[in-house]
Amino acid sequence: MKALALIIEDNEDNRVLIQLILEHHGYRTVLAKDGRSGIAQVAASRPDFVLLDIQLPDMHGLDVLRAIRGDERTAQLPVVAMTSYALSGDEVRFIEAGCTGYIEKPIEPDTVMAQIMAAIDRHDRSKGSHESIDC
């Protein structure tokens, strides 16, 4: 079974873009347009990893991350934040709050997959996890 990625992103263009790239690389995707439905999807779809925009209309990405980490079933779930340079400084807070890693917008279609995988690999190694995400 192909790995499932949850994309929590309010901007439609970005959502479609990241979805296209992930699917091109053979991932399955589920989408959420805001923080609340994103948290609901984490429980409902049990994704293998999450791509989380840090600026959402209903709540801050940081709070979504905390909600995910607060649930013991998803405490170890890889969550990669998508940051915007305009709000730099958030990266540090994200990593401190238990974020797996972050990628910066604009998303570069040719390198973004590698960045996501690198972040998840680092996360897996540091957590000593033996599971790995299949393509």
Partner 1 sequence: VSGRLRNATVVHVQETRNVSRKLIEKALHMRALGYYSEVKSTLLTQTIFEVDRARKSLSRTNRALDQSQNQLLQLVEQRTRSLQQSEARYRDLIENQAAMIASFLPDTTRTFVNLPYARFWGKSRDALIGERWIEVFPESERAAMLARLAACTPEHPVVELEHELKRPGQSVCWLHWQFIGSFDAQGKITHYQGIAVDITERKTMERELAGQREHMEELVVQRTGELTRANQRLQELDQLKSLFIASMSHELRTPLNSILGFSGILLQGLDGELNSQQTDHLGRVQRSARHLLHLITDVIDLSRIEAGQAAVHREAFQLESVVSEAVDSFRHIIKDKGLVLELEVVPQQLFSDRRRLLQCVLNYLSNAVKFTENGTITIRAVAEAGKLILQVQDTGIGIDQEDQARLFTQFSRIDSPQVRQIPGTGLGLYLTQKLVQEILQGEVWCSSKWGGGSTFTLRIPLDIGPEKDGKAT
Report the interface residues with partner 1, using CB under 8 A: 11, 13-14, 17, 20-21, 24, 84-89, 92, 105-110
Minimum CB–partner distance for residue 95 and partner 1 (Å): 11
Amino acid residing at 48: D
Q: Of 39 and 113, which CB lies nearer to partner 1 in the complex structure? A: 113
Cβ closest to partner 1, residue 104 vs residue 121: 104
CB of 107 to partner 1, least distance (A): 5
DSSP string, 86-100: GGTTHHHHHHHTT--
103 vs 80: CA distance, rounded Å: 7
Distances (CA, A) of 128 to 23, 28, 74: 28, 25, 16
Residue whose CB is less far from partner 1, 54 or 68: 54
Instruction: Say how far apart CA 33 and CA 16 lie, in whole Å.
Output: 11
**Least distance to partner 1, CB of residue 99, Å:** 16
